[in-house]
Amino acid sequence: MLNYLGVRTVGRVQIFLTALKVATIIAISALGVVANNPASDRPAFVEPPAHGPIVAFLGALVPVMYAYNGFQYLGQLGGEVLNPKRNIPRAVIAGSALVIVLYVTINWAYFHQLSVSQVAQSLHVASDTIARLLGVRAAKYFTVAMIVSAFGSLHAAFFTGPRVPYAMARDGSFFGFAKRIQPKFHTPSGALVFEGGLTVLMVLTGTYQELYSYAIFAIWIFLGLSAVAVIRLRSTEPSLPRPFRVWGYPWTPVIFAVAALAISTNLWLIRPVRSSVGLAIILLGIPFFYYWRRRT
């Protein structure tokens, strides 16, 4: 509903949710670092991985990549960003750097206050850390703050996601209703309603872990293919203007593509049924694409 009311309104809400998230993380990190009651760590018993160390490592990267996920969303808003050639790279670099700092700092605070075994067995690491520092009542307040801030990630996805089917519909490569614009708020109302309906259906099909694994499988396939596309376009369209230069080309996109496709392939090995369904949905788009392409 908020995304229906205009870009400026959504932007203000996103700033508030992001500020709340960052403030909560900084508070937990600061409390965990300055407290003088570190956990007496003991080696945790870890069962040997069933599929081998490489499969286990790539599987452990899935929730980590979900934590870092979001840097690619800015490209979908390029048409609504002032001076995108300058502001999009700055936002991606600054945002990713901030996420890395916050993620590493708060995890250091967790392991400073909880033992490895406690972290491994905990279902709510942040709440358990606050409960150790300030008590159970304070942990409840921090949990509420984290729940509210989690809406920031969901809100950002709804903010950026509908711009893709809207642009496709405008170019004749998607259902026509997705190119509808709300006359008062100038938002892609058709695409918003479409993606909102799909999201509700997805939420009803599985747990949170299953859903983010589903998302990472699809997202990193296309991120890997994007890196491959950079290399292909360099050879097929060498004269195209390129305002963004890839550092370390061609090794940077090659390494990125291999890592991305390795994560998705490994996830398919771990969760073959869910991943196969996701892959089938992706492949289902191919005949639709060629159908719309012939029409236009």
What pLDDT, in 10s, does the model give residues 211-268? 777 778 888 898 899 999 999 998 898 888 887 778 888 899 999 999 988 988 888 8
Region 162-186 average pLDDT? 84
Paired tokens of 68: 């870092």
What is the SS3 assignment for 41?
Answer: coil
Region 65-69 average pLDDT? 77
Residue 289: partners with Cβ closer than 8 Å, 6 or more residues away: 173
User: Per mean pLDDT, which of 1-15, 41-55, 147-161, 245-259 is the most reliable?
Assistant: 245-259
Name residue 68's amino acid.
Answer: Y
The closest alpha carbon to 171, from 240, 238, 79, belongs to 79
pLDDT computed for residue 178 by the predictor = 87
Length of the chain: 296
**Chain mean position to CA 118:** 27
pLDDT computed for residue 68 by the predictor = 78
The position carrying tokens 């771990």 is 270
pLDDT computed for residue 267 by the predictor = 85
pLDDT computed for residue 37 by the predictor = 62
User: What is the rounded CA–CA span in Å between residue 98 and residue 105?
Assistant: 11
Does residue 84 have a cis bond before it (omega within 30 degrees)?
no
Helix ranges, 161-250 (H): 163-170, 189-203, 208-236
Paired tokens of 117: 């075994």
Longest Cα–Cα distance in the chain: 68
User: What is the rounded CA–CA span in Å between residue 76 and residue 70?
Assistant: 11
Paired tokens of 217: 């499988």
Structural contact between residues 39 and 118, judged by C-beta atoms closer than 8 angstroms: yes
**Chain mean position to CA 268:** 18
pTM: 0.73
Residue 81: partners with Cβ closer than 8 Å, 6 or more residues away: 74, 87, 88
Structural contact between residues 261 and 221, judged by C-beta atoms closer than 8 angstroms: yes
